[in-house]
Amino acid sequence: MPYEKMKVRLLNGSHSALSYLSYLAGHRDVDHALANKDVHDFVKMYLSEVAQTVPAVPGIDLEWYQAKLLKRFSNPNIKDQIQRLPAGGAS
């Protein structure tokens, strides 16, 4: 269960958080959005604050996981569309 909470709060939550801001700013791909310093800094701050609510996950360093997510979101070889991210976010 701790791993699931980590994933939902950090991965899914940051997807939702960055999607609305990024779409309104005109970004359509996650890597392009993260290339914007304001979006990158916002997501980094979100991850840092939310990580404080995540229970310890055996074998996982939360700072490492946050850095991994930022690197993954910024990767131009992983084409993820902004419009896909908030699916179900309004329900």
Quick: pLDDT tens for 22-73: 999 999 999 999 999 999 999 999 999 999 999 999 999 999 999 999 999 9
Give the CATH number for residue 8.
1.10.1040.10
- CB distance 69 to 6 below 8 Å: no
Is residue 90 in a domain?
Answer: no
Q: Any idea which residue has 């939550």 for tokens?
A: 13
| pTM, rounded to two decimals | 0.90
In angstroms, the CA 7 to CA 88 distance is 16
Considering its fold, how many domains does the chain have in total? 1
Is residue 91 in a domain?
Answer: no
Is residue 89 in a domain?
Answer: no
Is residue 62 in a domain?
Answer: yes
Is residue 48 in a domain?
Answer: yes
In angstroms, the CA 28 to CA 51 distance is 26
The boundaries of the domain holding residue 31 are 2-84
